[in-house]
Amino acid sequence: MIFNSEFSGQQQHTTQPIVTGGSVIALAYKGGVVVGADTLCSYGSMADFKNVEKIAQVSKNTIYVSSGEFSDFQQVVRELAKIDRSALQYDDGVHPSPRDYGNYLARLSYKRRCKINPLYLQNVIAGFHNGERYLGLVDIYGTYLESNFVTTGFASYFCKAIISNYWNENCTLDQAKQVIRECFKVLFCRDCRAHDVIQLAYVDEQGTHIEQPERVETKWDFSGFKNRANEKLHTQ
Amino acid sequence: MQYLDNYLESKGGYDYTNVKRNELMKAQGFKEMPFTKTGTTIVGVLFDGGVVMAADTRATAGSIVADKNCEKLHTLAPNIWAAGAGTAADLHHQCAHFNAKLKLQRLNLNRQSRVNEVITKLTSKLFPYRGHIGVALIIGGIDCNGPQLASVSPHGNYVYHPFQSMGSGSLAALGILEAKFQDGLTKQQAIDLAIEAIEAGIFHDMGSGSNVDVVAITKDGVDYKRNIRQYNAKSYQRQVPYDFPINNTPALKKYQFDIEKQELSEVGQEMVIIE
């Protein structure tokens, strides 16, 4: 998406993303929410930064990750952390819930969209508050959706069917993690800007748990791909 | 006719006589007809001993469903089937054309048609038209070289893969295929995988919908299951023609018209059986 800048030099508007993050997949499970994202930041079509741990903890029970322009993501993390800090200063034990962060991000995104200078992000906010799971999606325009499962980027095309067929909202944490790993396997096989090292994080009653990056196993040597005897028939 | 062959041979491969005219037309604002992609999900899965192909049954014209139950699996030869995505008219005519061409060749040579032969003929036809013939096909069949599965793109590119999907729903179907495909599937497993992949396209792509058709081709023959899955079948079918029982409508009066005397007279006022 390219927005033409009317005031070249004076006021700069976002024209295109430069350093981008990959797809994000988040699923609710019985007792919490689990989020997966890969650890790659692409510089156009170059896989530039390969060990980026993207999943940010914005408060005790909320995590935030997004796909799209990485510098915008880092700025939003700072903005959301400001909210948590200013709540601490009141020192009254009241903290913003995950939904508050989701709503704030939606308003922020919409305001930027109205100025034709968007935050080039598809955002996922996940959390657990007062015994309830929360999973929200905010896209580049400020569209705000709460759902039991959320995908951004290419995962919306490849992985929705896998999630529908192999996940339900009352599955266990391990089952949900397995579905996310399966989805990232498929993405690594078919999305040019995907990476096979992913990071999972989950939020439950006890709080936030962000895990170490892990590699997903993909199989590239099916006999039909290795053995191209059929193609050779054309040149015999 | 010999002079025509000589003339064409001397001209060379590509014919550039229309290039100047086309550029002039574009400069004057002529818009090329857009290549309309009819939403589709088609898949092919290779298994031990054969190939399975499946397709959805929705044909779209823009955002409207033009045909709720069309057939996207075409026969090219008794042992070779094609699943087609793209412009419906092109698909229908090209498949019928190649069906006839292959049949003629079988009659001439008394040999079974081969998959690589079909691919060669198709791509030779499509390539010179530079993608304007909007056919994206998955060709599957079994011949003397074993079971083969290939896909042909509108520009004339072909690729042999053990699983394929094409059409607007191909990404959704490919997600399922990438996650669940294994080497050494049995026929039933391949059919189940193909159906699951088409289901993914039907539910997650707006250009695909309605029912699932499946064809399984093995050495023993072709197993074509039309509408093997229906997700929104009508639960009630109204009776056609409607049978009006006798005496359903009571008669109040009966009149008689005498044609010769041109007179209308009332015959009776009670309920009369009308037969």
pLDDT tens track for A63-91: 999 999 999 999 999 999 999 899 989 88
- The mean of the pLDDT values for chain A is 91
Chain B residues within an 8 Å CB radius of A159: 175
**Using the beta-carbon criterion (under 8 Å), do A186 and B179 form an inter-chain contact?**
yes
**Using the beta-carbon criterion (under 8 Å), do B116 and A233 form an inter-chain contact?**
yes
Using a CB–CB cutoff of 8 Å, tell me whether B119 touches chain A.
Answer: yes
Order across the sheet with B212-218: list the strands.
B163-166, B42-47, B50-56, B212-218, B221-229
Please state the rounded mean pLDDT for residues B167-180: 94
Q: How far apart are CA A114 and CA A88, in angstroms?
A: 31
Its CATH class, for the domain covering A18-235, is alpha beta
pLDDT tens track for A124-152: 999 999 999 999 999 999 999 999 999 99
Using a CB–CB cutoff of 8 Å, tell me whether A8 touches chain B.
Answer: no
Please state the rounded mean pLDDT for residues B45-72: 92
pLDDT tens track for B2-49: 888 777 767 766 667 788 888 898 888 887 665 555 689 999 999 999
Q: Which residue has the higher pLDDT, B16 or B189?
A: B189
What pLDDT does A206 receive?
94
* DSSP H or E stretch at residue A144: strand A144-146
The dihedral through the CA atoms of B152, B153, B158, B164 has a sign that is negative
Dihedrals φ, ψ of B173, to 5°? -65, -40
Q: Is B227 exposed, middle or buried (0-12, 13-18, 19+ CB in 10 A)?
A: middle
Distances (CA, A) of B59 to A88, A131, B39, B94, B226: 58, 47, 7, 17, 16
From the list B187, B213, B180, the residue with the least C-alpha distance to B40 is: B213
What pLDDT does B241 receive?
81
Contact between A199 and A53 under an 8 Å Cβ cutoff? The reply is: yes
What pLDDT does B34 receive?
55
What pLDDT does B272 receive?
52
Q: Which residue has the higher pLDDT, B231 or A14?
A: B231
From the list B111, B49, B44, B110, the residue with the least C-alpha distance to B82 is: B44
* Chain CA centroid to CA B223, Å: 17
Could you tell me the residue ranges of all domains in chain B?
A: 41-230
Q: How far apart are CA B71 and CA B82, in angstroms?
A: 11
Q: How far apart are CA A32 and CA A98, in angstroms?
A: 12
Cite the beta strand spans of chain B per DSSP E. 42-47, 50-56, 59-61, 64-67, 73-77, 80-86, 135-143, 146-152, 158-160, 163-166, 212-218, 221-229, 254-258, 263-268
pLDDT tens track for B213-243: 999 999 999 999 999 999 988 888 877 888 7
**ipTM (interface pTM):** 0.86
From the list A148, A136, A132, A127, the residue with the least C-alpha distance to A210 is: A127
pLDDT tens track for A80-120: 999 989 998 988 888 899 999 999 999 999 999 999 899 99
**Using the beta-carbon criterion (under 8 Å), do A161 and B200 form an inter-chain contact?**
yes
What pLDDT does A1 receive?
44
What pLDDT does B38 receive?
61
- The mean of the pLDDT values for chain B is 88
User: Terminus-to-terminus CA distance in chain B, angstroms?
Assistant: 73
Contact between A33 and A24 under an 8 Å Cβ cutoff? The reply is: no
User: What's the pTM?
Assistant: 0.83
Distances (CA, A) of B199 to A6, A161, A169, B86, B231: 47, 8, 21, 19, 9
Contact between B105 and B90 under an 8 Å Cβ cutoff? The reply is: no
Please state the rounded mean pLDDT for residues B147-176: 94
Please state the rounded mean pLDDT for residues B137-156: 94
**Using the beta-carbon criterion (under 8 Å), do B162 and A223 form an inter-chain contact?**
yes
Q: Which residue has the higher pLDDT, A226 or B7?
A: A226
Distances (CA, A) of A34 to A136, A164, A172, B84: 12, 16, 10, 39
Residue A4 pLDDT more than 60? Answer: no
- Helices B170-180 and B187-204, packing angle to 10 deg: 140
The pair of structure tokens assigned to A40 is 């790659």
- pLDDT cut 90: percent of chain A above it: 79
Q: Which residue of B has its CA nearest to A179?
A: B179
pLDDT tens track for B198-214: 999 999 999 998 999 99
Using a CB–CB cutoff of 8 Å, tell me whether B256 touches chain A.
Answer: no
pLDDT tens track for B73-119: 999 999 999 999 998 889 999 999 999 999 999 999 999 999 999 99
Q: Which residue of A has its CA nearest to B163?
A: A224
Using a CB–CB cutoff of 8 Å, tell me whether B203 touches chain A.
Answer: yes
Chain A residues within an 8 Å CB radius of B231: none
**Using the beta-carbon criterion (under 8 Å), do B176 and A182 form an inter-chain contact?**
no
Chain A residues within an 8 Å CB radius of B181: 222
Using a CB–CB cutoff of 8 Å, tell me whether A220 touches chain B.
Answer: no
Using a CB–CB cutoff of 8 Å, tell me whether A233 touches chain B.
Answer: yes
**Using the beta-carbon criterion (under 8 Å), do B183 and A224 form an inter-chain contact?**
yes
Contact between A17 and A25 under an 8 Å Cβ cutoff? The reply is: no
The CATH homologous superfamily for domain B41-230 is Aminohydrolase, N-terminal nucleophile (Ntn) domain (3.60.20.10)
What pLDDT does A39 receive?
96
Q: Is A41 exposed, middle or buried (0-12, 13-18, 19+ CB in 10 A)?
A: buried
Q: Which residue of A has its CA nearest to B149?
A: A230
Beta bridge partners of B136: B85
Cβ-Cβ contacts under 8 Å between A and B: the total is: 75
- pLDDT cut 70: percent of chain B above it: 93
What pLDDT does A203 receive?
97
The confidence band for A180, taking pLDDT boundaries of 50, 70 and 90, is very high
Q: How far apart are CA A29 and CA A202, in angstroms?
A: 10
The pair of structure tokens assigned to B62 is 């823009």
Q: What is the torsion angle, in degrees rounded to the nearest 10, for the CA atoms of residue A47, residue A51, residue A56 and residue A60?
A: 160
